[in-house]
Structure 1
């Protein structure tokens, strides 16, 4: 009996009936055919074919061209703890025997391999934030009904967290069953906003894991008659949802964190990595903040009563949460704070990793840290460090950035620019409620 046949029997004995060999579209949304467990051996050989040209932002493969073949990574297969009849396996898409260039996971694989060639393993931790809300006649309401509970903010609030246990407890149990090393979760500052913190993993494992995380959050929210939304800024008068990418490099031979210096501080290599990320910061932002709505988050306050804690400048600080890059004092990694809840993790992590490796190769100096509250500083003094104000600005940087072009490859780079630019143009044609209120009777 082959190992695949043994796995098939083991899964069937556990009650698994179906397997999804998933890949993701340009938005990070998983796609797959559903395969009965008895067909897993043929699936493992690439029996499942996909016309990916019909999906969102995966290239222009027409109806007259060959289909992509899905090759599942069965070593990374997981059984869903909330539905043990279903297993998920991340999949590599191939076209004519080669990795399909416009597959997000393949893009990250290339950067992981590049890091390995340089002697490193990229490790990543994610801090996912999102809202759980229900639609009512009066609009979107949080999981725990709005009753002026402990205003002005519910951040870290014990009572609000306890009241949200019907959602939070299943999430915690499922994450523990999957062995993710959950070590804390909390009610964030937003009304109905939550964050989970769990162990880091290698870059590819973490990106795969976050696909399952989103599916999990959406399922548990539906059980409460709600939805889990990963929209970056769902409410203009409340906090945005980030997905900070915490990344470091480890020596491929020893496993030692290469961002840690001999004296216990940050190493020179970590500085160069940071320099690369900042040098390509605007282009990275087009990928880690992939919606028009993302740029509503980059404000110190906006319509909020409190400061936003959102990054607004392309710079780094030792513990400065107002900047794109933070080098925390309690762990040796680079925290990229611009990444938001809508990110396609394969693409976002790949771009950050590619830029960091470029910084190491090019010995890019990140400059001196900014450890002051930039919200209180004169914006004119920091104008050259401002992050893009709009998705269009970020896409312009992405389009002309040589690293973005090499990271994505010529075809996928063009697809990304064209697809996202069309979305910007669509938004530019919409007359919003704000415009109607502002101008209908003013002129």
Structure 2
């Protein structure tokens, strides 16, 4: 092996033990969180320090179209991509011995490309670091296993389980429900072990074929990298067993949607203590400021946490998803929940984000709200006690409204970066215009002959 492999993470070295590395996949996440890049022979990867990709990958919609940015020529200049070998991990589903490596993205002057989602998250983390804080996150991933769907005109249905029946709904926390698709879960565990990822737990959620997977807490960039890798890995595990894994926010009518709940705490870098707790164990003022920031600024970033028209189908009253930004202790009806914990683990759970969001941008947006709250030092509304579904909705109900709020949020633009915000808004506006050109089955069924 060449010398560059000496600096690989332990899990990658273990995977390569006694094997000849064939290929390296050099990847980055685009605006949607889709892996972009190139694969190359390992021998070539070891001889080059960087490679190039055009900056247009951050101007592309989920449908593959490109947006134009007003005042900027579409010349597609190259960005310089250099490997972050700390992210190197196996692609254990590959026929060849393959590693995946996430790359740093800089312009030709050596500056971080501001439209790259991973750089946006790094920017927000650096704002915390400048105040002497380390933000900590713990994501929860929800997704559906579904039957193969090769015709988009057909509705999505649950997968066939080992029993020969389709997965059943309303079986939250059922072990027998998880066992129905045990072979897929087994592959997820095996792949995660080969990749060096730690899963805190896997459980059955409320939807038919819906699974929740919890990750241990840690550094926001590292955890976003893992979710980026996990989404690809889970899809590969499902394909091995003749089904699809989907991270759509609402893939099946009349079933609950899939969220990416984000648990937040903040640690003082110098002392290592949780700033959300006072020395006597009580809640700190900083904790309340963080909650206030979420309540004040989350509406302006719903466009990042719910990035597609389908995302807003998840926010349904009394249907396992929040409809407002109330906060409460141990209350799963609120958008902002304070879980039961000791003082050292005091945290806030943001339940707004959908699993369809780009993990880098979803975590960055959530952290940005908390950061602004800490800077503004305001206090939240009174804790909500009771069923928050009985209160008014106070989050955008559609993509168009969410984008308007995003465009009118100068404080948030200053945190996330002006250029990124301009590009993101342009991409999502074009996607929304494309969606409006599509005529749905509902319209054909109820309007064609009746109006």
Q: Fold match, TM over 0.5?
A: yes
Q: Tell me, yes or no, if structure 1 residue 123 matches structure 2 residue 136.
A: yes
Moved more, 76-85 or 282-291: 76-85
Alignment correspondent of 2:24:
19
Greater CA drift, 153-162 or 393-402 = 153-162
**Match for residue 277 of structure 1?**
294
* Contact 1:52/1:59 (8 A) holds in 2: no
Cα offset, 1:249, TM superposition? 0.9
| 1:138-167: CA deviation from partner (whole Å, max 9, x where unpaired) | 853323359878966121222221121011
Measured on the aligned residues, the alpha-carbon RMSD in Å equals 2.7
Kept in 2: contact 1:233–1:293 (CA 8 A): yes
Task: Check the 8 A contact 2:137/2:263 in 1, yes or no.
Answer: yes
Greater shift after overlay, 34-43 or 86-95?
Answer: 34-43
Distance 1:278 1:87, change over 3 A: same
Partner of 1:227: 244
Does residue 61 of structure 2 align to residue 49 of structure 1? no
Question: Corresponding residue for 1:338?
Answer: 352
Q: Are 2:30 and 2:57, in contact at CA under 8 Å, matched by a contact in 1?
A: no
CA–CA distance in 1 between the matches of 2:129 and 2:137? 15
1:30 aligned onto 2:42? no
CA contact (8 A) 2:67 2:427 kept: no
Match in the other structure for 2:105: 93
Alignment of 1:182-331 (within 5 A): 182-300=199-317, 307-330=318-341, 331=345
Work out whether residues 291 and 391 of structure 1, in 8 Å CA contact, stay in contact via their aligned partners in 2: yes
- CA contact 1:27–1:343 (8 Å) conserved in 2: yes
- TM-score (normalised: structure 1): 0.89
Distance of aligned partners of 1:170 and 1:399 in 2 relative to their CA distance in 1, 3 Å threshold: same
Determine the C-alpha separation between the residues in 2 that align with 1:417 and 1:438. 33
What's the offset of the Cα at 1:65? 5.2
Which residue in the other structure is 1:363 paired with? Answer: 377
Question: Which residue in 1 is equivalent to 2:180?
Answer: 163
Does the CA contact (< 8 Å) of 1:144 and 1:160 recur in 2? no
How many aligned residue pairs are there?
429
Q: Measure the CA separation in 1 of the matches of 2:91 and 2:358.
A: 21
Partner residue of 1:304?
none
**Corresponding residue for 1:407?**
415
Corresponding residue number in structure 2 for 1:133: 146
- C-alpha offsets along residues 99-149 of structure 1, whole Å, 9 cap, x if unaligned? 111111111111111111111111111110111112369853323359878
Residue 222 and residue 151 in structure 1: after superposition, are their counterparts in 2 closer, same or farther (change >3 A)? closer
State how far apart, in whole Å, the 2-side matches of 1:125 and 1:192 are.
23
Task: Check whether the contact 1:292–1:390 (CA below 8 A) recurs between aligned residues.
Answer: yes
Q: Deviations over 1:55-85 (max 9, x none)?
A: 5269868674530010111122222344471
1:144 paired residue number? 160
Answer whether contact 1:127 1:196 (CA < 8 A) is retained: yes
Give me the whole-angstrom Cα distance separating, in 1, the residues matched to 2:235 and 2:167.
27
* Higher deviation after alignment, 215-224 or 130-139: 130-139
Q: Is contact 1:20–1:35 with CA below 8 Å preserved after alignment?
A: yes
Judged with a 3 Å threshold, the aligned counterparts in structure 2 of structure 1 residues 163 and 64 are, in CA distance, closer, same or farther, namely: closer
CA contact (8 A) 2:160 2:167 kept: no
Aligned position for 1:4: 4
User: Could you say what secondary structure the match of 1:246 adopts?
Assistant: strand
Q: What is the deviation of 1:7? A: 4.3
Distance 2:115 2:203 in 1: 36
Q: Is the 8 A contact 2:80 2:105 kept in 1?
A: yes
Structure 1 residue 374: Cα displacement: 2.2
Distance 1:318 1:67 in 2: 49
3-state SS of the aligned residue for 2:255? coil
Structure 1: tracts of 5 or more residues without a match:
301-306
Q: CA deviation at 1:5?
A: 6.0
Aligned match for 1:350, one of 354, 364, 372: 364
Tell which deviates more after alignment, 404-413 or 273-282: 404-413
Decide whether the 8 Å contact of 2:135 with 2:265 is kept in 1. yes
